[in-house]
Amino acid sequence: MKKHLSAKTKWLIVIAVLLAGLVTVTAAMKTGGWGEQAVQSVLTPFRSAASALVRQVERYYDYIFKYESLQAENEALKAQIVAMEKDVRSADSLQRENERLHQLLGLSADHEDYQFASAYIISWVDSNWKSAFTIGKGTSSGIHEGLVAVTEYGQVVGLVTEAGTNWATITTVLDSALGISATVASTGYNGVVEGALATGSEGLLRMNYLPTDSVLRNNDQVLTTGSTVYPRGLIIGYITDANFDQTGVAKYALLRPAADLDDLEQVFIITEFNHS
Amino acid sequence: MLKYIHLTKLQWLGILKWSLYGLLTLAVLLLQTVLLSQLPVLGAKLAPLPALIVCVCVREGPEKGGVYAIAAALFWCLSGADFGNLSVAVIPIGAMLSAVLCRAVLTLRFLPTALCCLAVCLVNDSAIFVFKLILPPTVALDNYWRVLLPGVALSMAFVPVHYALVKLISRIGVRDAL
């Protein structure tokens, strides 16, 4: 077969190897982003159009095939609203009392300092070993690396890890590359939450470095502790299981992510928040 | 302005052919990153693009096809592919070797092309998996047969469509060349 490889083919093989090396070096040095910037900027309008088309098709599909189930769900929700309105009336008095206590303690209302930028997801990373997606907004909308993406309910989705003029890549909490300083809301135990993608607990998060004597209950809320990157009090997930780690010294907990990443269409990037 | 560009009919047809290959590549990339990446099958995300690159390279030969394979793999890498730098080398080299192998030993028919696609995709995904396994370990070993192998196998479902479209596009200009 060697005699069938022409000189030009051999040169092309060398060029492919050199290009791979060049891409690796520029990615490692974080200096040669112009190629990626150019390709992503060109691709973004196509991706936006394709994802808009997919969303439209999904809506028609839901309308045709899920109409009856939606109607039943609507009836159930109406009944639930009636029951909840009753609860709200009784909760109102408690809320007023709570507000007074907040004022008494000098606490400000939650999240008033947040500035948001909303963006639609236009594509997902096609790898089985990475959980990340691209949004159709970038530095021109004030989005840059190191900002946190959340849902409309304040649930952590991920972190902006790359940004161009009209696009940004968000690595989700499921990816093992992210580590978030977190606390168990009910007990105050601190730990680090990492993604468990492709490590045997797919779709779950792992909260490491919990104290050996910590008592953890299922469905306990886990929140961000607060840092220069992550604002305090954002919901990361709910505890589903706990055990001792390999060393037997510390405990770890498995969490169900609070944000439903499978059905995510739009995310909100916290562009500004009060670090204090 | 076009009247000042002196190209023969064959050259125009060549431009048309490679533009169509480019559009097909873009369409498959969008399908892969916008739709298929959200719809895992048996827990695996399907990737039809590497197979398309191999199909084009086998059909067009290791030289012209090789240039296309390098350009397409680089474009995929820069569009944000995970471990795309590895694919920039593995996919074009695999595609060029496939083209040489098909011309020298096998034929340009469907089955040899499909086998080459399978081999290149398997080598590419396995190489990425090995890196993920050791630098630092972010995947469990059982994912190889639980996710990777089904993913590669299911991605081969696109090969007949790729093969048919590539065969159709490759015919552009053939009659005029004779």
Share of chain A above pLDDT 90, in %: 24
CB contact under 8 A, A27 and B132: no
Average pLDDT score over residue span A45-51: 89
Average pLDDT score over residue span A226-255: 87
Q: Which two tokens stand for residue B7?
A: 């190209």
pLDDT at A115 over 80: yes
Share of chain A above pLDDT 70, in %: 87
A12 to chain B: which residues are within 8 Å by CB? 62-63, 66-67, 70, 92, 96
Which of 239-258 (A) contact B at CB < 8 A?
A: none
Q: Which two tokens stand for residue A272?
A: 């500004």
Kindly write down the DSSP assignment for every residue of A202-258, as one continuous string: TT-EEEEEE-TT----TT-EEEE---SSSPTT-EEEEEEEEEE-TTSSSEEEEEEES
Average pLDDT score over residue span A128-156: 90
Q: DSSP letter at A107?
A: P
Residue A23, pLDDT score: 85
**Min Cα–Cα distance to chain B from A128, Å:** 6
pLDDT at A2 over 90: no
Quick check: ipTM above 0.90? no
**Whole-Å CA distances, A85 to A73, A79, A91, A127, A193:** 18, 10, 9, 45, 36
pLDDT at A71 over 90: no
B15 touches A at CB < 8 Å: no
pLDDT at A93 over 60: no
A27 touches B at CB < 8 Å: yes
Residue A99, pLDDT score: 62
Average pLDDT score over residue span A239-250: 84
Do residues B56 and B116 make contact, with C-beta atoms less than 8 angstroms apart? no
A17 touches B at CB < 8 Å: yes
Residue A216, pLDDT score: 86
* A168-172 and A156-163 strand pairing: antiparallel
pLDDT digits (tens, 9 = 90+) for A187-232: 888 999 988 776 667 788 999 888 888 888 888 899 999 888 898 8
Which amino acid is residue A77, in one-letter code? Answer: L
